[in-house]
Structure 1
Amino acid sequence: MQRVRSSASEEDAAEQPRRSWKQDPHGVRLNILQVAREAFAQKGLSGARIEEIASQTSTSKRMIYYYFGDKEGLYREVLADAYRRTREAEDALELDGLPSDEALRKLAEFTFDNHRRSKDFIRLVMIENVHEGRHMPDSTEMSGENSSAIRLLEDIYARGLEAGVFRPGFSAVELHWLISALCYFNVSNQATFSHIFGRELFDEDGQTKLRRHVGDMVLRLVLA
């Protein structure tokens, strides 16, 4: 009798991924993306294994292939989802009601904080640059995902020009590049920089100072 109960329990466990997929396919897909994001950020495209990813999800390897086709398809979707989450966080800032200089500072300092919190996103970007951007979603999809960042800066900069607060001569893409570069280095080069110069800039006081410096530098660049 004990053996029969054990067999039934094993059947229930084996059936669980299929029930989860049917009852909550969106949740299963998000679970796969989260686990895969961590795996690709830590091990890269070549080092991550579908078997390892599947073992940490609530579904099976077969369902990962069903949703994403193959490992490269999963990796591409992880990249697209990472960019999408960053843009959604930027959209939630509600900068329209702020004066243009305050809005620009808030966006720059938010980017610093968000990159710092999202180290796996920065690692994914680093890894994809090693691959020369070959796995990025197509330009139409990416422009749609990333247009919000440019749209925010276009609006802030236009308001600043109209108010006489900002000087002319910049594009939103240039400002996005400058902000991204300052905030990206803080995460991408933290290990090597701290190994050479110590970790003082990466404790809480150091990060608070750098965050403020990023806002100051961006503002001083564009202020009239």
Structure 2
Amino acid sequence: MDGSGDRDSKKRKSSWRKDPVAVREDILAVATQEFAAHGLSGANINEIAEKTSTSKRMIYYYFGDKEGLYCKVLEGVYASLRNSEDRLDVEGLEPVAALRRLVEATFDAHANAPHFIRLVMIENIHNADYLRKSRIVPKLNRSIIEKLDDVCTRGKAAGKFRQGVDPLQLHWLISSFSFYNVSNRATFSASFGASLYTKKTQAILKARATDMVLSTVVIGHVPTTWDAPAG
């Protein structure tokens, strides 16, 4: 034996000791891709360890077990999405403009995070059993409802929003357009072709989804995007 295995082991231990936070983040980044690609049952801890130059033992040291790692991955992708929403400055906008920005930003955030969509789909297969174990995700999800509640309250007070508009139901509606656009891309493209997924057509779909939400919420809103050519 040439001792290369021993040298690799010493190198890994050195990196753990020098920057354990970076190692942990690296494990989570790789695990996110693995769980999104293969699901909870299909993801392989040994492969995650190999791709992060750590070890199965070290992964379990940080996360307890495979399910513990999966739960942390779920919390991470939810945190990333909610953080992007939290950075949106809608408090300074008038209500209609604020709602428009939220719808457009949600559409873009989902389109740019296919791993988030896949993980949510996987977790639905598990009936949200692991999501329910998290104390973090419910707190994270409250932020978008609070943001929509503020916009809705201001919109109703200004006489611009319908009085029956509910923030949670509105979040469901906005998420539906944004989520489906990504979750069913493969099957939709296989059935009808990929014409809806060009950069130009995605921009049109975002504008039309925004128009439909505003038509539901904003008194007197007249959609205009449907008068434009489809492509």
Would you call these one fold, judging by a TM-score over 0.5? yes
- 1:94 corresponds to: 89
Which runs of 5 or more residues in structure 1 are unaligned? Answer: none
1:10, distance to aligned residue in structure 2 (A): 5.4
- CA separation of 1:140 and 1:13: change in aligned 2, threshold 3 A: closer
Aligned partner letter, 1:164:
G
Aligned-partner Cα distance in 1 for 2:99–2:18: 44
Aligned counterparts of 1:160 and 1:77: Cα–Cα separation in 2: 37
Q: Which residue of 2 aligns with 1:141?
A: 136
Identity across matched positions, percent: 48
**CA deviations over 1:132-174 (Å, ceiling 9, x no partner):** 1111143643221111111110111111111111111122110
Q: Tell me how far apart the structure 1 counterparts of residues 206 and 116 of structure 2 sit (CA, whole Å).
A: 19
Q: How does 1:1-224 map to 2 (within 5 A)?
A: 7=3, 11-138=6-133, 140-224=135-219
Measured in 2, the distance between the counterparts of 1:52 and 1:78 equals 16
Specify the SS of the correspondent of 2:162. coil
**1:179, 1:16 → 2: CA distance?**
48
Q: Which amino acid aligns with 1:181?
A: S
Q: Which has the higher contact order (CA 8 A, sep 6+)?
A: 1
Q: Which consecutive residues of structure 2, in runs of 5 or more, have no partner in the other structure? A: 220-231
Distance (Å, rounded) in 1 between the aligned partners of 2:180 and 2:152: 24
Count of residue pairs brought into register by the alignment: 219
Whole-angstrom distance in 2 between the partners of 1:149 and 1:51: 37
1:97, distance to aligned residue in structure 2 (A): 1.0
Over aligned residues, Cα RMSD in angstroms?
Answer: 1.5
Are the counterparts in 2 of residues 76 and 137 from structure 1 also a CA contact under 8 Å? no
SS of 2:136's partner is helix
Structure 1: which amino acid aligns with 2:108?
D
- TM (norm. structure 2) is 0.90
- Per-residue CA deviation, residues 14-34 of structure 1 (Å, 9 max, x unaligned), is 212222222222111111111
